Amino acid sequence: MKKVRDKYYFGIDLGGTVTKIGLVDRKSNVFEKITFSTFAYNSKQKLLHHIVKNINEVLQKDSKRKRQVGGIGLGVAGLVNFENGLIYKLTNIPGWKNVRISKILKKETGLPVLVDNDVNVVTLAEFIFGAGRGARNMICLTLGTGVGGGLIIEGELFRGSSYSAGEIGHFPLNADGPRCNCGSYGCLERYIGNRYFVSRVLEKMKITSKGNKILKLAQGKFSEINPKIIAQAAQRGDSLASEAWCEFARDLGLVLAGLINFLNPDVVVIGGGMAKAGKPLFEPLRKVVKKFTLGIPGNTVKIRKAQLKDENGIIGAASLFF
Ligand SMILES: [Zn+2]
C-alpha cells in the first residue's frame, strides 16, 4: 500500500472538568470534535476506555483518512515525562499516578502517542498558529485558577532537565507571604490566581465603601463576583476594580519583567480565563513591564493576548507532532 503523507493528528485536551478530542490538520483545522465531562468517567479505566472508543470510532469511519492519521497528541494538567510518555500525576483528576499513557493508547489504537502538560501544549499552539507566529523566543502565560507558563527558546519548546520548566506560578514573590498549594510561601499564583484575586477584592470591599459597580454587576451577591465582573466594573470606572487590576498587573509585571530581562523574548503571549479582562489588565501590565525592564529587551518585547480560543488545547496537543 502506498504510504500517504500524515495529514491529521488527534489532539486530546484532558482537563480536570472537560475532555476534548479532535482531529487536527496541519493548518490547525479541527474535525470530528468530541467534548465530554471528565467527571462522568470516575475511574482511570473508564476514562481511558472512553477516549480509546472515540478515537477508534473516528478511525473506523473513513479508511482513507485512517491511513492519513499520524498519531495522537495529548495535553494534560499535571506532571509528565515527555520523553517516555509517562504521566506522573494529574492535578485535578484523582487516581492517575505513574500512568504510561503513551504505551496504553498506542496498544489500543496502533498510533504513536506524544504527551505533554497542558500549558506546554497551549504554548506550542500559540507559537505555531496564534499570537506567537513568527517569534523565535516566546514566553506564554496562562492565567486562571492556576498560573502556568511555557517557554519557546530558539524556535523550540523548552522543557527543562526533568520536564518541569515554565512553572511561573510558583515564582517566589514574597518570602513572608501566605502559604501556597505547592507548600511554599508567597508564590505569584497565591496573589493572582483566580480565587485569590477575587478574595483580595472581596476583602477590600469589606473595609471600604468602594466597589459599588462590582456589586451591582454581581446583582448584589458577593458570591457572584468573579474576575470577569471585576474587569467590567473597571471598564465602567469603578476605582476599586481598577486598583485591583493594577495590583494584579504589578505582581505579574514584576515577575514578567525579570523574565524578559533574563530571556530577551520577542513576544509574551498571555492567555487563560483571566486574560479576557482585556484593557484593565493589559494597560497597567505593559506599564509595569516597561518600568522594570532594561532598555533593549523592554523596547523590543511585544505583550499580546492569546489568539486561539477553546480549541487551543486540541490544536496544541496535535502540534506536538508538527
Ligand atoms: Zn507555589
Residue 187 CA to ligand 1 center (angstroms) comes to 5
Residue 231 CA to ligand 1 center (angstroms) comes to 25
Residue 190 CA to ligand 1 center (angstroms) comes to 7
pLDDT at 2: 46
Q: Which three cell numbers stand for residue 230?
A: 471585576
Residue 95 CA to ligand 1 center (angstroms) comes to 22
Residues 78 and 119 in one domain: yes
Q: Which three cell numbers stand for residue 271?
A: 492567555
Q: Is 79 helix (H, G, I), strand (E, B) or coil?
A: strand
Run of H or E residues at 129: helix 118-129
Residues 109 and 190 in one domain: no
Question: Which amino acid, residue 152?
Answer: I
pLDDT at 39: 86
* Residue 217 neighbours by CB under 8 Å, 6+ apart: 229, 232, 233
18 phi, psi to nearest 5 deg: -125, 140
Question: Which structural domain range is residue 79 located in?
Answer: 8-124+311-319
Asked if the structure places residue 144 within a domain, the reply is yes
Residue 81 CA to ligand 1 center (angstroms) comes to 21
pLDDT at 5: 67
Residue 263 CA to ligand 1 center (angstroms) comes to 22
239 phi, psi to nearest 5 deg: -70, -35
Residue 32 CA to ligand 1 center (angstroms) comes to 38
Residues 150 and 54 in one domain: no
Q: Is 157 helix (H, G, I), strand (E, B) or coil?
A: strand
Asked if the structure places residue 1 within a domain, the reply is no
Asked if the structure places residue 116 within a domain, the reply is yes
Burial 142-176 (b: 16+ CB within 10 A, else e): bbbbbbbbbbbeeeebebeeebebbbbbbbebeee
CATH assignment of the domain containing 245: 3.30.420.40
Residue 188 CA to ligand 1 center (angstroms) comes to 7
* Residue 177 neighbours by CB under 8 Å, 6+ apart: 185, 186, 187, 190, 191
Residues 299 and 315 in one domain: no
The total number of structural domains in the chain stands at 2
Q: What angle do CA 129, 134, 138 make, to 5 degrees?
A: 85
Give tens-digit pLDDT for 37-94.
998 988 899 999 999 999 999 999 888 888 899 999 999 998 899 999 999 988 878 8
Residue 154 CA to ligand 1 center (angstroms) comes to 28
Residue 14 CA to ligand 1 center (angstroms) comes to 23
Give tens-digit pLDDT for 259-311.
999 999 999 999 999 999 999 999 999 999 999 999 999 999 999 999 998 89
Residues 146 and 240 in one domain: yes
Residue 15 CA to ligand 1 center (angstroms) comes to 20
Residues 164 and 251 in one domain: yes
Residues 96 and 151 in one domain: no
Residue 176 CA to ligand 1 center (angstroms) comes to 13
Residue 172 CA to ligand 1 center (angstroms) comes to 7
Asked if the structure places residue 82 within a domain, the reply is yes
Residue 185 CA to ligand 1 center (angstroms) comes to 7
Residue 143 CA to ligand 1 center (angstroms) comes to 14
Asked if the structure places residue 141 within a domain, the reply is yes
Residues 38 and 82 in one domain: yes
Separation of alpha carbons 175 and 186, rounded Å: 6
Residue 175 CA to ligand 1 center (angstroms) comes to 12
Q: Which three cell numbers stand for residue 265?
A: 523574548
Integer-rounded Cα radius of gyration of the chain = 21
52 phi, psi to nearest 5 deg: -60, -40
Asked if the structure places residue 214 within a domain, the reply is yes
Give tens-digit pLDDT for 175-233.
999 999 889 999 999 999 999 999 999 999 999 888 899 999 999 999 999 999 999 99
Residues 185 and 300 in one domain: yes
| Mean pLDDT to the nearest integer, 139-148 | 94
Residue 6 CA to ligand 1 center (angstroms) comes to 41
Q: Has residue 117 got a pLDDT over 70?
A: yes
Q: Has residue 4 got a pLDDT over 90?
A: no
Separation of alpha carbons 96 and 295, rounded Å: 46
Residues 76 and 14 in one domain: yes
How far CA 244 is from CA of 169, 212, 230, 271, 298, in Å, comes to 19, 14, 8, 19, 24
pLDDT at 57: 94
Question: Which alpha helices (DSSP H) does 188-278 contain, by range?
Answer: 189-192, 194-207, 212-217, 227-235, 239-263
Residue 277 CA to ligand 1 center (angstroms) comes to 23
Dihedral over Cα of 75, 77, 81, 87: its sign: negative
Asked if the structure places residue 27 within a domain, the reply is yes
Q: Which three cell numbers stand for residue 99?
A: 500512568
Q: Which three cell numbers stand for residue 71?
A: 498519531
Burial class (CB in 10 A: 0-12, 13-18, 19+), 119: buried
Residue 148 CA to ligand 1 center (angstroms) comes to 11
In the block, residue with C-alpha cell 462522568: 40
pLDDT at 273: 92
Residues 146 and 20 in one domain: no
In the block, residue with C-alpha cell 515577575: 255
Asked if the structure places residue 2 within a domain, the reply is no
Residue 91 CA to ligand 1 center (angstroms) comes to 13
pLDDT at 91: 80
